Amino acid sequence: MSHNAGAQGIGANYGRQGDNLPTPDKALQGSGIQVIIGTLNIDVPTLANDPAFATTWLQTNIIPFASSVNFRCISVGNEMVPSQNASSILPAMQNLRTALIAANLNIPISTAVFQNVLASPFPPSAGTWHPDAASIMVPLVQYMQANGYPLLYNAYPYFAYRDNPNDIRLDYALMSTSEVIVTDGALGYTNLLDASLDALYWALEKVGAPNVEIVVAETGWPSEGEEHDQATIDNARTYNSNLIKHGQFGTPKRPGKGLEAYIFALFNED
């Protein structure tokens, strides 16, 4: 869910993996806050194979609330590419689109993917789809291009830093330097999130989907719970505050286009 500030929107993920959480109706109905709602991964094959189930899903989760909740997007599953059920995503999206049209509702449909859908994110202009993901992602993003739908992207510079601290500077991952660390042709990168997003934009362009908007459906920095010594409250605060400040400027490849991003998470998980 997010609150828009001009072209830029910064929101928070409302995860349900916690105790004593306020119920969603206390936070969302009538608020005007934009909401991305996701289907369960286990429901995606049924959504793909049974148009009646897609209609029932909408009647249960969307239609009763459509007049009081501002639905930004429906996400068909989360981080399902690559997986054995990934081929169900596109037909599930198609069935939901048909059901939305029948209900006279215009809500974008997407799916949320993780950084592993890219094979080579460095330098950004080398961005291409991972061989394990390409056969799924190419028709998906072309469908998004044709219908004006965004691509939801879960981007965590922390994990790239954690797995490669010798090659990735902490301030580059935290967006806390103005120094150009990576040069890619005429473009210069001061932070890892921009580089990751532009690698995805390059991958989209290479398969005929240049107008697909990237929405950062999850991002953030762990405040504890990781073995790595950089999972601290201070670093989480730094990353999130820099994200909010930097998001209005766009990326080197898409300058001036405000970033829509959702910080993980509103509440700590158990």
Integer Cα distance of 245 and 144 in angstroms: 29
Active site residue 79: yes
Distant-in-sequence, close-in-space partners of 229: CB < 8 Å, separation ≥ 6:
none
Among candidate residues 179, 218, 227, 260, the one labeled active-site is: 218
DSSP H helices, 50-155, are 51-61, 89-102, 131-147
Tokens of 113: 């993917």
3-state class of 192 per DSSP? Answer: helix
The whole-angstrom distance between residue 235's C-alpha and the CA centroid of its chain comes to 21
- Listed residue (3, 13, 34, 1) closest to 266, CA to CA: 13
Strand positions, DSSP E, 125-197: 151-154, 182-184, 187-189
Q: Is 218 a catalytic residue?
A: yes
Please state whether 225 falls in left (phi above 0), alpha (psi between -120 and 50) or beta: left
Q: Which of 79, 179, 224, 227 is catalytic?
A: 79
Give the Cα separation of 157 and 151 in Å (integer). Answer: 18
Using alpha carbons only, how large is the chain's radius of gyration in Å? 18
Q: Which helix (H) or strand (E) holds 114?
A: strand 109-114
What residues are labeled active site?
A: 79, 218
